[in-house]
């Protein structure tokens, strides 16, 4: 009896609120938008400081701000029960749906566990941000290697022993995350069930204007569209690497994860010199040109801004250049993973990135400015609409523009001295883009599949790492280069896992960015093969882009897709059209080979 009374007393505030006459839904949503804008801004600012000054104290401040945001969101979501079953106008109904889906980590109703969730997430982020490999007995950081140091080896070395060492060393930072991640899964699932989802994965999959089951099927449908092209690329690259790394890479089966130029084998751009179709045919050493011509971080950012303003979009505010982090500080630890921010959700936009003069970073800057321009164009909307039409839209905008950063554009910018103008040069260009775009697709597909399986309980903690590698083999045709130890937590070595950033958005973006690109090319009046298009400088293309950016999440994504492309579905046809020359060439190169794994 006493226990029942205590439970009743604990629930009394929620019960009293539920019994009170509800406010008019418009009043309620106006108040929610005002409250969440303040809480999100507070949380974002704390996260910015924690990422740029990694200490125990900044992590604690970030956790406290995150907890206040969680509490405000949970309170608002709970209050929506008063409007269940009401005949709501479409705008109010959409806002309530977006409110329920507004966080990737819905908090438990219990205040103690809500606080624990905030702390766990801050601690996971801190472990990743401060992660480094140090030799036994190292003092004062002597001999330690950061992710940047190890990634540089992965990108530049051609010594398989050095590559294996760098690959293995970074994965020593993640085993400590596993107990925290187990607790996060439990708390995140509790929060998701509190807002009527089966688990956290079910909540994530419900954010696409379709049932969760339909979205998972849609994701697999898109993968099936692009899988044949990926398999041809995998086959060709495997053949080249088998010759370069005899005894390390087999001409059949899966590829070892450490020889593909990237810490996570998520793109293969850095091994382009090893697989170039026609060596020396096209001057595509963008990294070498940037270094030789002494391009610095600010100049690279200004070039990317100029691409957007050339389309007629507004320039970045002066505060962007004053407050962003462009280079790694020498006096402190920072989280170098590139990210875009609107710290106050009203135009205090920034990027955080330790920029190096490389082609990869130049592409990434364009990508991050795509986020920034989305923020700037929709920040006049209510806070619940300040998002992409779906999260894949947000990721795709900058990449669609980067597709127009062609060798010809880089020549015009003064980076390259010449641009390819024949069929062999074209295939070199397409191979380079494919190593970035096509190589990524299965990686983007499998990461959230792993999390969906973890959140649902389909895979138990003891099998988490093995399941990670099963999915990597299934989708990517990749295997770990060495047997993984019993305590390995290799998923945690990828930023988006400890940062709790959903990842299928990137897979979607790598498909729809080609739809966006084709639509912008059409707006610019382009004629001829799709892969020859650059819409740089087209005000008509910029006008179409700005219209969609300003919509934010105010309409279901099929409406935004239709406004942008004239289509209401996601489709890989434009991607396949773009890479048609390369796919035909790959098939001839792979003739007689046992492709697949």
Q: Which positions are catalytic? A: 337-338, 367-368, 371, 395, 496, 506
**Angstrom distance (rounded) from CA 147 to CA 171:** 10
Instruction: Give me the phi and psi of 26, to 5 degrees please.
Output: -65, -40
Contacts of residue 520, Cβ cutoff 8 Å, sequence gap at least 6: 400, 401, 404, 535, 538, 541, 544, 545
Strand partners, 132: 146
Q: Which of 390, 395, 451 is nearest to 208 (CA)?
A: 390
Cβ-contact 508, 390 below 8 angstroms: yes
Question: Taking the CB of residue 258, how many other CB atoms lie within 10 A of it?
Answer: 25
Cβ-contact 395, 509 below 8 angstroms: yes
Specify burial of residue 281 (Cβ count, 10 A radius: 0-12, 13-18, 19+).
middle
Place of tokens 């709970």: 78
Report which secondary-structure segment, H or E, holds 495: none
**Angstrom distance (rounded) from CA 322 to CA 301:** 13
Q: How far is CA 295 from the centre of its chain?
A: 26
Q: Which of 22, 154, 2 is nearest to 76 (CA)?
A: 22
DSSP 134-175: --TT--TTTT-EEHHHHHHHHHH---HHHHHHHHHHHTTSSG
Distances (CA, A) of 171 to 196, 221, 412, 482, 562: 36, 32, 41, 12, 43
**Angstrom distance (rounded) from CA 516 to CA 536:** 14
Residues 138, 143, 146, 147, CA torsion sign: negative
Instruction: Give me the phi and psi of 339, to 5 degrees please.
Output: -155, 155
Cβ-contact 585, 426 below 8 angstroms: no
Distances (CA, A) of 77 to 8, 36, 367, 552: 20, 11, 32, 21
């Amino acid at each position: 009896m006493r226990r029942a009374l205590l439970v009743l007393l604990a629930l009394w505030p929620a019960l009293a609120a539920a019994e009170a006459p509800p406010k008019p839904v418009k009043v309620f949503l106006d108040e929610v938008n005002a409250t969440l804008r303040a809480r999100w801004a507070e949380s974002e600012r704390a996260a910015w400081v924690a990422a740029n000054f990694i200490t125990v104290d900044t992590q604690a401040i970030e956790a406290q701000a995150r907890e206040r945001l969680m509490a405000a969101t949970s309170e608002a979501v709970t209050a929506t029960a008063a409007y269940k079953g009401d005949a709501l106008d479409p705008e109010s109904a959409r806002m309530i749906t977006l409110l329920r889906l507004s966080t990737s980590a819905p908090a438990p109703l219990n205040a103690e566990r809500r606080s624990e969730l905030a702390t766990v997430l801050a601690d996971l982020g801190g472990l990743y941000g401060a992660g480094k490999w140090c030799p036994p007995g190292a003092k004062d950081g002597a001999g330690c290697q950061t992710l940047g140091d190890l990634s540089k080896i992965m990108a530049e070395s051609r010594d398989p022993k050095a590559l294996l060492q760098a690959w293995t060393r970074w994965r020593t930072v993640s085993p400590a995350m596993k107990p925290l991640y187990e607790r996060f899964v439990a708390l995140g699932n509790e929060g998701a069930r509190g807002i009527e989802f089966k688990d956290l994965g079910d909540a994530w999959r419900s954010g696409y204007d379709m049932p969760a089951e339909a979205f998972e099927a849609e994701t697999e449908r898109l993968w099936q569209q692009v899988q044949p092209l990926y398999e041809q690329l995998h086959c060709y690259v495997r053949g080249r690497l088998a010759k370069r790394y005899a005894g390390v890479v087999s001409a059949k089966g899966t590829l070892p994860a450490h020889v593909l130029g990237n810490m996570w084998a998520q793109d293969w751009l850095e091994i382009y010199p090893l697989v170039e179709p026609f060596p020396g045919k096209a001057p595509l050493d963008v990294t070498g040109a940037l270094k030789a011509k002494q391009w610095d971080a600010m100049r690279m950012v200004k070039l990317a801004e100029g691409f957007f303003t050339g389309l007629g979009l507004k320039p970045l505010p002066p505060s962007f250049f004053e407050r962003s982090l462009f280079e790694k500080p020498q006096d402190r630890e920072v989280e170098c993973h590139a990210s875009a921010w609107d710290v106050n959700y009203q135009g205090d936009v920034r990027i955080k990135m330790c920029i190096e003069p490389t082609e990869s970073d130049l592409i990434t800057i364009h990508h991050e400015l795509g986020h920034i321009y989305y923020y700037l164009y929709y920040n006049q909307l209510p806070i619940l609409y300040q998002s992409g039409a779906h999260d894949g839209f947000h990721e795709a905008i900058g990449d669609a523009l980067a597709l127009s950063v062609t060798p010809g554009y880089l020549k015009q910018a003064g980076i390259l001295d010449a641009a390819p103008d024949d069929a062999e040069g074209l295939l070199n260009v397409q191979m380079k883009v494919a190593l970035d775009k096509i190589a990524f697709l299965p990686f983007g597909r499998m990461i959230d599949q792993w999390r969906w399986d973890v959140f649902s309980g389909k895979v138990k903690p003891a099998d988490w790492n093995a399941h990670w590698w099963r999915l990597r083999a299934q989708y990517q045709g990749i295997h770990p280069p060495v047997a993984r130890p019993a305590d390995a937590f290799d998923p945690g070595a990828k930023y988006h896992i400890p940062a709790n950033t959903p990842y299928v958005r990137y897979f979607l973006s790598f498909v729809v960015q080609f739809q966006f690109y084709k639509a912008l090319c059409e707006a610019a009046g382009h004629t001829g093969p799709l892969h020859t298009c650059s819409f740089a400088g087209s005000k008509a293309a910029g006008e179409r882009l700005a219209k969609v950016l300003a919509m934010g999440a105010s309409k279901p994504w099929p409406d935004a897709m239709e406004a942008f492309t004239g289509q209401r579905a996601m489709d890989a046809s434009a991607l396949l059209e773009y890479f048609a020359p390369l796919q035909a060439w790959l098939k001839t190169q792979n003739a007689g080979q046992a492709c697949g794994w």
